[in-house]
Structure 1
Amino acid sequence: MFSHIKDLQFEAKPDGPDAAFARRLQEILGGKWGEMTVANQYLYQGWNCRLPGKYKDLFLDVGTEEMGHVEMIATMITRLLENAPLSLQEAAADNPMVGAIYGGSNPAHFIHGGGGALPADSNGVPWSGAFVTASGNLMADFQLNVTAEAQGRLQVARLFNMTDDPGVKNMLRFLLARDTMHQNMWMAAIEQLKEDGLEEMPVPDAFPDSKEFTEKFSYTYLDFSPGTDASEGRWASGPAPDGKGEFRYDHSPRAHAPEPVLPPGDPRLYGTNPGLAKGAVNKVKSKLT
């Protein structure tokens, strides 16, 4: 079950209105890597987790925390929109610079949201559940979560440099700190999985190596670029991170199958079949009619 505490996790109060920055802040709310994504992702990963105990709690604890971040950012956006001008004429009446800033605002904040936050990104594109991944494999999910936190922290850091509002910066400092914790936390969870003997690399670890073409393809770097610069990377020689093989470097990858030649398509689907002569096409037409 869930309950709601009226207090915020951290203060979300700007020093003044800024409709243009409210639009930018939407990215870390309803964008692909925003708080709506990670909150739902961690919660669904937790609800789908078949291991009771610490791993399930980890997902659900962090997912619940992230839902609080959704609340904070939505509150900040709404406060940034307070007393914001509703038209360009109104914005430019006293200060042309304010008018220029107004030009970067999102009209949907006022038309759809009544001066409040929206479940959308900075371009007004609605948030999508397609952003959420909950695979049921903890190693796969933990690795994706590291990426999600890295992308999220990257965007918050960029936004930090786009505002001079002390109140906004204060909230962003908190979010940066929590993203630091979460990146480290998910990496620690990966190590914990290994220590507990539950998962290893590559994912899925339980799939038998004997069923893949290990000898030729599992550890060979295929270089499709001119030159050999890629051969200098750690990924082109030496032991693989999973400890099961040695990297090899192939500068001249070759084809392992001939050019595919497709049969004529079903004439009822009206695709263009270059192998059919015009007479044959007309014959097919007459049969269909």
Structure 2
Amino acid sequence: MYFHLQRLINPIEQDEPDPAAANALQEGLGGQFGEMRTMMQYLFQSINFRGPEGKPYKDLIQGIGTEEIGHVELIGTTIARLLDGSPAYQGKPTDPIDQPGAGGAVPLNIALDHSNIHHYLVGAQGALPVDAAGNPWSGSYVYNSGNLVLDLLYNLMLESTGRLQKCRLYEMTDNKTARSTIAYLIVRDQAHENAYAKALETLGVNWRGTLPIPKTNAEQFPEVKRLVDLGLQSKQYSFDLDNQSEAGRIFQGLSPSGDGTELDASEQAPEGAPLEIAPERREEFSPGADEELMALIQATAEMEMADIDATFGRMS
């Protein structure tokens, strides 16, 4: 089972909206080497895992896959914040539903030449399951061979390529909102590289000769350096409420990165950061609930709660 703690896995800095940066970040979400890919690949590998004696490897893959769910939430929320707000719209929540375009106004004209138009046309200023070119995410990206060494090699390559692309994304924008998330993902990608590299070493695989990791020198980015100085590249979380994970039997000892740090799998999860729900976007008619509709929603909710109370007893 999976549980959701209503906190973001990392804080998102505040800055001005930047729809072009939002579109670039879509590659890190729905691209071939993005967070949706890593989430699905690792979860499917752990679900399909065979061999009880290999439980530490299953736990390692599953823990990283669970973290990737939080990464999808983080980068998706970042994209939405970069899109949030239309410069030409100065409306108020009390305005009538058709007020945004009244009098010939075109509050969403920014969508025509600054971004992926689908962010405004389809997504109501929110993230989409697509890459930066607008191609839908595909399940065919997922690699799950059933062979542990092959899967670990492929995962190491996936994390390395993802980190390389995020370094490029960092260089594309100076927006603080975008960079705060990109920097965090760069460092966590390195942590996952360390995890898969260490797992391969325990299986006798000389991965350094087989798959050299690209040098990005990402520590030159100040946001990345701050996180590396905290040792975030050498931590791995279990996300295991029952403390049954054996991933720590693998994720220990000196880091494969060669930075002199010790690998640490002692923490269940990061502390996280407050998760706030974004305001309505009246110019998008989203959610577009007028007083009559809100009253209907409330009445329906009350009927559903009454039905639950009648069936299961009153919830405390």
Q: TM-score, normalised by structure 1?
A: 0.61
Write the deviation string for residues 71-112 of structure 1: whole angstroms up to 9, x where unpaired: 00000000111113589x7588xxxxxx7x962301101111
Contact 1:8 1:72 in 2 (8 A): yes
TM-superposed deviation, 1:114: 1.2
Stretches of structure 2 that go unaligned for 5 or more consecutive residues are 90-105, 211-316
| Structure 2 counterpart of 1:24 | 24
Contact 2:21 2:178 in 1 (8 A): no
Q: Distance in 2 between the 1:21 and 1:32 partners?
A: 18
Matched, 1:158 2:168: yes
Work out which structure has the larger RCO, using CA pairs closer than 8 Å and 6 or more positions apart in sequence. Answer: 2
Aligned AA (2:61) = F
Q: Percent identity?
A: 43
Q: Matches of residues 173-212 of structure 1 in structure 2 within 5 Å?
A: 173-194=183-204
Q: Matches of residues 1-289 of structure 1 in structure 2 within 5 Å?
A: 1-52=1-52, 53-85=55-87, 103-194=113-204
Q: Distance in 2 between the 1:150 and 1:28 partners?
A: 13
Contact 1:14 1:76 in 2 (8 A): no
TM-superposed deviation, 1:174: 1.0
3-state SS, counterpart of residue 113 of structure 1: coil
TM-superposed deviation, 1:183: 1.1
Contact 1:13 1:79 in 2 (8 A): no
Cα distance 1:159–1:136, how it changes in 2: closer, same or farther (>3 A)? same
| Structure 2 counterpart of 1:220 | none
Cα distance 1:86–1:19, how it changes in 2: closer, same or farther (>3 A)? farther
Stretches of structure 1 that go unaligned for 5 or more consecutive residues are 93-98, 196-200, 203-289
Cα distance 1:19–1:102, how it changes in 2: closer, same or farther (>3 A)? farther
Q: Distance in 1 between the 2:47 and 2:117 partners?
A: 37
Q: Distance in 1 between the 2:114 and 2:88 partners?
A: 12
| Structure 1 counterpart of 2:252 | none
TM-superposed deviation, 1:61: 0.3
Aligned AA (1:144) = Y
Aligned AA (2:37) = T
